[in-house]
Structure 1
């Protein structure tokens, strides 16, 4: 009997990771009649050959417009089942992932659903880098979730009718080629929660996967950059978030709170024993870089409003 869900993997020039993902997926879907779509987002490597190795299990479609949101929307358009489940190309589903997804979709109660993930590494992990930095949703209990919960896009399922009615994912958000942009799945989930509070968002702890953490992501500079970009885009992702309009004085106060402890850690341990202060710095940057990005966006928005040129343009448009 055909399953009620399709698995979609959006990929671009990551054939080696894709092969590993499809191998894990083949094992997880054993005994299940669930179609698999691989959305090739303009790859120039061996992506097509890798998909061909899996025969009828996986079908490759091409989305030439570069961007994760474009690729996700192409999967939505090609999906013929009631549910569509997204899996990151550098993720590997657990053995029970497929049956967990099948259980959720058979009940047909969830409109949006997701599962947890933990990291795996292909390069040495620094002592300061905690596994929690590459994990998500480990604290959630099975079942319906509160309005504050949004699932990660790399392990997430949608009722296709709900996703289609919402217009899919915003192409101005999400990773695009080598450009780091974020939040397309969060923006859509938050918008749906606001417009239709009766939708059911459900979590399944058995829908587990592991997700690759690259060497680049295990650097403080990356943690800062990623969270800064998220903060800068937060007004587009979550317009109602109070961080968007946090007064400068409160931002400065929040930033100052953690600095004395960071300084003490560096002073006591010395720069040669960096594990403790680097771990603390990573947690510190996770919040404060978001706040900083939001402050920069707020400042630029205010500067445009105050600009005579902007006022001239606004007046011209109004007339």
Structure 2
């Protein structure tokens, strides 16, 4: 088997650090059961199996989190549908086997993760499909850029939401404040100028950290480019001004990436696509998504 074959299928679960995953799951379980497990007392420890049912259409995502919840409770999970697949309701997604009180102890935590992760992935996939099917008029070719989520994630749930973006086929943007140096209006106002803030950021970020600057006008974008930033975010621009500014910057600074952001959603995202736009970012991927409906149903174990 060659190297290419050995990497199939691609598993985003390999991105997750086992220790981090266990820590998150333990926190979620402790939050959900702060003292006595009254329901567990009622059912006891007989071995049962439960079917995970997908009850609405969407993309399955979050299986590592679901599985770790039950692994930590000494239960096993047998998947019948692979991560990233399109669910058609009602469908048996997985079977969970273990002591019944442990199955029920992990039920809600595991379903919460799966429902939300799958919701993020479904919305991300929808956006990606819209853009991939679009031909850019100026080039007559598909768009070369990326759609990205933002750092506007749910506190304590960032890893799940960022992971789900990848399953849905779009970029995570920066994961946290240490992932990339992103300089916004407040940084610029405090530092005095775009030139100053980029110079100071470069002194600590070094060669291995990209610098992105949020700009509100062509003049700010030109200053950022001349100060040698790597990425310019054109934030909340009118569409005509967005594409005109992107064109001017690209004609003078071909290596700078242009990101468009502000007010983007599934209905208008194609308006932001253009030959001079490299990234389109939006927060709705992790703030405005719908969850998918799953349930876990106990079956007698024979």
Range into which the TM-score falls when normalised by the shorter chain = under 0.3
TM-score normalised over the length of structure 1? 0.22
The higher-RCO structure (CA 8 Å, 6+ apart) is 2
Q: Which has the higher helix share?
A: 1
Rg larger in 1 or in 2?
A: 2
